[in-house]
Amino acid sequence: MPHTPVWFMRQAGRSLPEYRSLRAGVRMLESCRRPDLVTEITLQPVRRHGVDAAIFFSDIMVPLDAAGVDLDIVAGTGPVVAEPVRTLADLDRVRLLDPAAVSYVDEAVRMLTAELLDKPLIGFAGAPFTLASYLVEGGPSRNHTQTKALMYGDPQLWHALLDRLADITLTFLKVQIGAGVSAVQLFDSWVGALSEADYREYVQPHSRKVLDGLADAGLPRIHFGVGTGLLLPAMAQAGADVVGVDWRTPLDQAAKQVPGHPVQGNLDPAVLFAPWEVVEREVRRVLAEGRSAPGHVFNLGHGVLPETDPTVLTRVVELVHTLSAR
């Protein structure tokens, strides 16, 4: 590539008026099951911003819904699970994923790769810990108290749950890979709530099962979480190729912690609300810090916030391309 590649987590979604009008009256999970909508929503930010990759429009809860978990994605709240998973009997309700139950994902990925030609389509899934946090809490949570209570209180059930989630995630990602995605990102958004020791004991084996299970496919595996400044080496060792970094950790520091790994990130999504001079200064800093890694994919440090002015995102793409042109 003649410049540093750039895309944004949550580039598709509520920051775009064209997304809001397409989604009017359609529930989130329903939109994920419709290949025509998925294709159009995935392409919207590619057309508008000229980003270097598309990210498949779906949600981390889609494979759990397809595996028989009764859940909804509520606007302004997030995923809500009807009956939280806290006992062995509850775990029986989380079935393995039959690839045929997500045939709409296969169909949408095929439609997209045909439209995108050479531009990469990034597939994704939620990592076992982050999926478990929604299943055990029953919804979004600040302190993950029920999740940690299960993790510390019944390690055997915990590991059985995470093993099941790893299997589901692996199946979901293999469907996307089989249909033609060029890279995958495993989101462990909330794993920064754990210490490194607990990460290694309770989470890493399960994330490794997913990432190692994709090694044969030979495509880049990106691994990202929020607040993971102290977990980056352990997350890289879980089997990531590219390590996603949030805005709290400068990319040069991150690069030192994960030698040999390209990094992805990490402009603070809130900086996009600051005056343009500040945005420009911060983009320059992120690019400069990213140069110490063996590769840099420019991104935000977490997803695009819904109130973001999309014209600022387009300017950021242009700026990254101009400043990094070689």
Residues with a known catalytic role: 10, 14, 23, 59, 134
What's the half-sphere exposure (Cβ side, CA atoms, 13 Å) at 151? 24
Smallest gap from Cβ 292 to ligand CP3, in A, equals 26
303 is in an annotated binding site: no
Smallest gap from Cβ 30 to ligand CP3, in A, equals 11
27 is in an annotated binding site: no
Smallest gap from Cβ 140 to ligand CP3, in A, equals 6
Closest of 265, 260, 251, 163 to residue 223, by C-alpha: 265
Identity of the residue, 27 or 284, whose beta carbon is nearer to ligand CP3 in the bound complex:
27
Token code pair at residue 43: 């392409």
195 is in an annotated binding site: no
Report the interface residues with ligand CP3, using CB under 6 A.
Answer: 9-14, 23, 28, 55, 57, 59-60, 73, 75-76, 78-79, 124, 130, 187, 189, 303
Distance CA 62, CA 146 (A): 22
Identity of the residue, 40 or 59, whose beta carbon is nearer to ligand CP3 in the bound complex:
59
Identity of the residue, 156 or 266, whose beta carbon is nearer to ligand CP3 in the bound complex:
266
Identity of the residue, 51 or 258, whose beta carbon is nearer to ligand CP3 in the bound complex:
51
Distance CA 51, CA 213 (A): 29
Identity of the residue, 57 or 298, whose beta carbon is nearer to ligand CP3 in the bound complex:
57
Find the distance separating the first CA and the last CA of the chain, reported in whole Å.
Answer: 9
**Cβ-defined contacts of 112-120 (< 8 Å, 24+):** 112/38, 112/39, 112/42, 112/43, 112/54, 112/56, 113/179, 113/180, 113/181, 115/39, 115/43, 116/43, 116/46, 116/54, 119/46, 119/52, 119/53, 119/54, 120/52, 120/53, 120/54, 120/182, 120/183
Smallest gap from Cβ 272 to ligand CP3, in A, equals 15
202 is in an annotated binding site: no
Smallest gap from Cβ 32 to ligand CP3, in A, equals 8
265 is in an annotated binding site: no
14 is in an annotated binding site: yes
Distances (CA, A) of 227 to 35, 90, 166, 279: 33, 30, 22, 22
Distance CA 73, CA 81 (A): 9
Known binding-site positions for substrate? 10-14, 59, 134, 189, 302
